[in-house]
Amino acid sequence: MMMHLVLERLSARALARVPEPAVVINDEAQSAAFGDAGREDGVLAFNYLYHALQITSVIAPGDTVLDLACGPGNQLAAVARLNPHARLIGLDASPAMLQQAQATLQRCNIGNAELVPGDMAGLAAFRDASVDCVFCTMSLHHLPDVGTLGRAMREARRVLRADGGAYVCDFGRLKRPATQRYFARDWRQEQSAAFTQDYLQSLRAAFSVDELTNAVAVLGGGGLQRRVTPLAPFMVIFRSRPRRAWSAQDQRNAGRLYAGLTADQKRKFRAFARWLRIAGCDLPLTLE
């Protein structure tokens, strides 16, 4: 990986964005492959736990929390488990994804989350300042263009309380096709061919760091900070200031989720956390 990151850093080229073939994923096989990757035994389980911990830091007990483009519900379920005293709403425009998400919530025995159909670029079902926290993980690259990205973030700002919390993360656009192929195929032995292809397309569809920064800036009322993985913008994270003090029970809940990872998932979690720590994105608690 280091070779690809160094070459990314040294490259002067800029790749054009290749939008996703379809804005809304309605293919059942594609949505199932995406959902399987994030299950407790899936290749991305460590990733969902990492983001769930970061998201939890901007959620206060009793909050109403909106997950923009919740997909198959893996991230939603992980956040719900860590925040039993919050009310979570998962929104997605894809009926196939909502069906997957419903199955995820039932499998994980989640009782504090609900699902609603909707487009994150037009949150007509939500009143102004009606939610305490919004988050969006690895979904913005599905949007067709920069204009829609801006509308989605302005809508998020509209429905978010003035002092609410926000957490947004997504891929940044890489400079080299070889680096995109490397990240998409690195764990191809552990993931389906459909997921590998979707992963590659997601990297090609990523917005640039500047495009993401300009759009997400409207959420900055809560002291939003930006963090980018060193050497290459594989991941870009925007997080508002913490809105909770972690309790002993919070620590136990997080510890149980971490303990449920396999040894390989824990190794990947630690490596991912170290990479982002170099960028200044510390975990809000210690798991080991």
End-to-end distance of the chain based on CA atoms, in angstroms? 25
Question: For the chain, what is the mean pLDDT?
Answer: 92
Tell me which residue has tokens 């809508």.
155
Q: How many helices (H) and strands (E) does the chain have?
A: 11, 7
pLDDT digits (tens, 9 = 90+) for 92-142: 999 999 999 999 999 999 999 999 999 999 999 999 999 999 999 999 999
CA distance 238 to 157: 14
Residue 237: pLDDT band by 50, 70, 90 thresholds? very high
Question: Residue 35: is its pLDDT beyond 60?
Answer: no
| Domain 2-278: CATH class, spelled out | alpha beta
The full set of domain ranges for the chain reads 2-278
What are the CA-CA distances from residue 147 to residues 144, 150, 162 (Å)?
Answer: 8, 5, 23
Closest CA relative to residue 112, chosen from 139, 134, 90: 90
